[in-house]
Each structure stands twice: as structure tokens, then as C-alpha cells.
């Protein structure tokens, strides 16, 4: 039976008092996933830190109205942005003053591609080309579309890592930049950054490392003694890195950093208008003009609150949860992990079970791993250490539903979603 669409919303004739508005907003969340119970494995990076959550709420109120468009009026924001970028640059062995914040990974990637285009145009390249693996984030394709560039996507090996020889063959006189993922989102494996950067050096082009997912985890993974292949500015030839602070930096959305090897390259990221429009000189290091202050202040506060020791503790929780989840998945007959991950993100699937049925059965039990074409995808947060065993019990039950012939009418997998149309966790 079809359901009629809701009537279009209309501006009320009279205002509503605050408590009533808040009550209606809360009621509207009835079918949102309850991220606080650790039952989703993407979109939210649950730090299991109530003090940090309260701090970020206070920060948001403190900077509720300020605008980072004009650092002259709000110099505190400019200072916090610089300090935040420099703290991350220190972690990644980068250069102070050679980067800044964006609204998220997509904008960091967009701006990195813009820098590549502008650098190539200065060389006389009319139609710059970007070379990535097929597993590179779709934000690169979006950036190429918006910036009128061409993207060449090269193959990956059996472990889903970028094929170095395929990239070398794809690089030509019109190449502006090559890209490596650290790690790629679908499989949690790192591309061979050293080899990719060597190709860039030989060709005289830029090399971007997309560490939006791993940039705030890999430094602490390394401090835990886990194997981490070379990937940051210690690798000769790497010219820029993106890292999201609203992922494993545990700041709120949206905060990411884009760092460059040198300040001159960062200046290429800035866009200026000479003031001919009548409003005065306009300059911006991002696609946005007006920039909300809370994400900048929140990123600064999260870094200051946790410090190196706090991030190492969080990384240890994530590592232990990942190990427990992977071992539990592998112990269930019929399930296999697609590729051994380098970090705390992985996909698992099956040659004998319908994984759409497994996903639906998990959703019916209030669990929401991400669905991918090849199976189910887990992006592990610190809080998952508390619920890993509970999830594995639900997963085993869901597998039995699939084994008993359960069916699913699920639509194609959607990035970051367990059910394409959403679903209740109740």
C-alpha cells in the first residue's frame, strides 16, 4: 500500500517557544540510528569520552555566531586554525604554516586538485590530468568534474592496493598530480605511497596522499608499535596530505586539514579578487566564503584536550576492537574478510551467503554496518570495544537467517548506509 507524501512545510504564522521547538525536533529523530549505543560503523566516530563531548558542546556555544570569513574581526579563529594545522603538520612531519582547515575531506580533496590544476596551468598544460586508483574516493572524480580536469583511474592488485606499474604507464605530459590513499575507504588498505611518490618525482608532478580517513590514526597506530608503511611527508615526493579531524581526530563535523610540503604551494590554494566588484579585496583559502567558527574551535579543542597520550589511548581501543571484530567475523562459517586491512577499516563478505539478507537481519536487530557491493563494511571507533561481542552475536544470528533462505529486496549499496532508505534502531 502506497503512502501519500507529507504536505510541504510552511513557515508558521506565529513563532513557537523554544522548548516546543526542541521537543518537535527530538520527536523528528524517531527513525535516526542511535549512534550513542555504538551500533553504527560509519558517519560517526564515537570517542567514548563524555568529557570531550561536553567540551565540544561548550565550544560550539562559545563560537556559535562568529564567522571565519574575516580573521581581522575574529583573530582568535585565525590563531586556532593556524595552531590546529601546525599541530597536525607536526604529527605528519610537515611544514608549519603550509596548510589550513576545510569543511571536510571532500573540500580538502577539491582544494588539492585545484592546486594541481593551477600548478599545471602555470606550466602551460591546457587540460591537466589526475591519476588515481579505482579505489580513490569519489571526491576526486567530483573535483575533476567541477574543475574541468580529466581523471585516469588505474587498476589495483589482488590486495586492492594501487598497481604501481599501471600508474607509471598512465602518467604522461599532461599529468598534474598522482594520488595515493592512506588507506582507501572500501578495504582499509594503504596504497604504496613511496612508489607513487617516486613516480611523481620522476615525472615532475604533484603527489597527494588522501589520508582523510587515516591521517589522525596512523601516527598513533605507529606509536603503538603496529606496522605502518611510509606514507607522510617523510616520503620524498609527497607534496600534500589531507586528514580529517572529524574522523579519528574526534572533533565534530566538519573539520579537515589540507597540508602542503611548502608555503608557496599553500599560497596557490588561495583565491583573490582585486576588489573591482566594489566591496573590497576578497581572499579565501577554501571553496567557501563564510566559514562557521565552531568546527575550527572544536578541532583545536579536541587536539588540546586529548593530546598525544589521549590519542594513543583511543588508538589502542580501536586496535583492540578491530582485532576482536576481525577474529569474530572469521570464526563465523561462510564469512571472509575481503582483504587484510592496514588500519581499522575493513570489508567482509561471502561466496555462499546473501550479504543483503545478512545486512537486513542485522538492521532488524538494530545494527548498522555499511553496505558495499562486496559485502559489509566496518569502520571501527573506540566505543566499539564495548559492544564488539554483542555485535558478533547479532552477526551470527543474521548469518543463520541468510543460511535459512531469507530474502532481501535491498537497493544497490549506498556509501555510508546500511539501508538505502534508512531504518529504525528500535
Nearest CA among 179, 206, 172 for reference residue 193:
179
| Predicted model pTM | 0.92
Q: Contacts by 123-128 with C-beta closer than 8 Å and gap 24+?
A: 125/173, 125/174, 125/176, 127/174, 128/174, 128/175, 128/176, 128/177
Helix axes 293-330, 75-91, angle to 10 degrees: 30
* CB contact set of 168 (below 8 Å; sequence gap of 6+): 199
Domains present along the chain, CATH in parentheses: 55-305 (3.40.640.10), 308-403 (3.90.1150.10)
With a CB cutoff of 8 Å and minimum separation 6, the contacts of 176 are 116, 117, 119, 120, 125, 128, 129, 130, 149, 205, 206
For 175-230, the pLDDT digits (tens) are 999 999 999 999 999 999 999 999 999 999 999 999 999 999 999 999 999 999 99
Residue 423 has pLDDT above 70, yes or no: no
Task: Dig out the grid coordinates for 180 from the structure.
Answer: 595515493
Query: pLDDT-derived band of residue 105, with 50, 70 and 90 as boundaries?
Result: very high
Give the pLDDT confidence score for residue 318 in this predicted structure.
98
Q: In which band, very low, low, confident or very high, does the pLDDT at 1 lie, cut at 50, 70 and 90?
A: low
C-alpha 124, offset from chain centre = 33
Q: Is 260 in contact with 269 (CB distance < 8 Å)?
A: yes
Going by DSSP bridges, is the β-strand pair 345-349/282-284 parallel, antiparallel, or unpaired?
unpaired
98 pLDDT higher than 90: yes
Closest CA to 344 of 210, 194, 214, 220: 214
143-157, 306-320, 358-372, 403-417: least confident range: 403-417
Q: How far apart are CA 265 and CA 128, in angstroms?
A: 17
**Gap between the Cα atoms of 352 and 270, Å rounded:** 52
Quote the CA–CA distance of 44 and 21 in Å, as a whole number. 25
Do residues 205 and 175 lie in contact, with contact meaning Cβ atoms separated by under 8 Å? yes
DSSP character string of 131-161 = EEETTS-HHHHHHHHHHT-EEEEE-B-TTS-
CB 105 within 8 A of CB 116: no
pLDDT at residue 41 tops 60: yes
CA distances from 100 to 260, 263, 280 (A): 9, 11, 23
Poorest-pLDDT segment among 8-22, 29-43, 303-317, 396-410: 396-410
Amino acid at each position: 500500500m502506497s503512502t501519500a507524501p507529507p504536505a510541504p512545510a510552511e513557515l508558521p504564522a506565529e513563532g513557537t517557544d523554544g522548548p516546543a521547538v526542541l521537543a518537535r525536533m527530538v520527536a523528528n529523530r524517531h527513525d535516526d540510528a542511535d549512534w550513542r549505543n555504538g551500533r553504527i560503523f560509519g558517519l560517526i566516530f564515537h570517542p567514548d569520552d563524555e568529557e570531550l563531548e561536553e567540551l565540544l558542546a561548550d565550544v560550539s556555544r562559545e563560537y556559535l555566531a562568529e564567522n571565519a570569513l574575516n580573521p581581522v574581526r575574529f583573530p582568535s579563529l585565525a590563531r586556532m586554525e593556524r595552531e590546529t594545522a601546525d599541530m597536525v603538520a607536526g604529527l605528519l612531519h610537515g611544514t608549519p604554516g603550509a596548510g589550513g582547515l576545510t569543511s571536510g575531506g571532500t573540500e580538502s580533496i577539491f582544494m588539492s586538485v585545484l592546486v594541481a590544476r593551477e600548478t599545471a596551468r602555470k606550466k602551460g598544460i591546457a587540460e591537466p590530468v589526475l591519476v588515481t586508483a579505482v579505489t580513490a574516493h569519489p571526491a576526486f572524480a567530483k573535483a575533476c568534474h567541477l574543475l574541468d580536469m580529466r581523471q585516469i583511474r588505474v587498476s589495483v592488485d589482488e590486495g586492492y592496493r594501487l598497481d604501481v606499474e599501471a600508474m607509471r604507464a598512465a602518467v604522461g605530459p599532461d599529468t598534474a598530480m598522482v594520488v595515493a590513499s592512506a588507506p582507501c575507504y572500501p578495504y582499509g588498505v594503504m596504497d604504496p605511497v613511496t612508489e607513487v611518490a617516486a613516480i611523481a618525482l620522476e615525472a615532475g608532478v604533484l603527489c597527494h596522499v588522501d589520508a582523510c580517513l587515516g591521517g589522525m590514526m596512523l601516527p598513533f597506530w605507529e606509536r603503538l608499535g603496529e606496522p605502518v608503511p611510509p606514507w607522510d611527508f617523510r616520503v620524498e615526493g609527497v607534496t600534500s596530505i589531507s586528514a580529517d579531524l572529524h574522523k579519528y581526530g574526534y572533533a565534530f563535523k566538519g573539520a579537515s586539514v589540507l597540508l602542503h610540503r611548502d608555503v608557496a604551494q599553500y599560497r596557490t590554494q588561495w583565491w583573490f579578487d582585486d576588489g573591482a566588484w566594489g566591496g573590497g579585496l576578497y581572499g579565501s583559502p577554501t571553496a567557501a566564503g563564510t566559514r562557521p567558527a565552531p568546527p575550527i574551535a572544536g578541532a583545536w579543542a579536541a587536539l588540546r584536550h586529548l593530546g598525544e597520550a589521549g590519542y594513543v589511548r583511543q588508538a589502542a581501543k580501536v586496535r583492540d576492537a578491530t582485532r576482536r571484530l576481525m577474529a569474530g567475523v572469521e570464526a563465523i562459517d561462510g564469512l571472509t574478510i575481503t582483504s587484510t586491512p592496514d588500519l581499522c577499516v575493513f570489508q567482509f563478505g561471502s561466496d555462499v551467503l546473501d550479504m543483503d539478507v545478512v545486512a537486513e537481519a542485522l538492521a532488524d536487530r538494530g545494527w548498522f554496518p555499511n553496505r558495499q557491493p562486496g559485502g559489509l563494511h566496518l569502520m571501527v571507533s573506540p566505543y566499539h570495544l564495548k559492544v564488539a561481542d554483542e555485535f558478533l552475536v547479532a552477526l551470527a544470528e543474521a548469518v543463520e537467517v541468510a543460511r535459512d533462505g531469507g530474502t532481501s529486496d535491498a537497493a544497490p549499496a549506498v556509501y555510508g548506509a546500511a539501508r538505502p532508505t534508512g531504518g529504525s534502531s528500535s
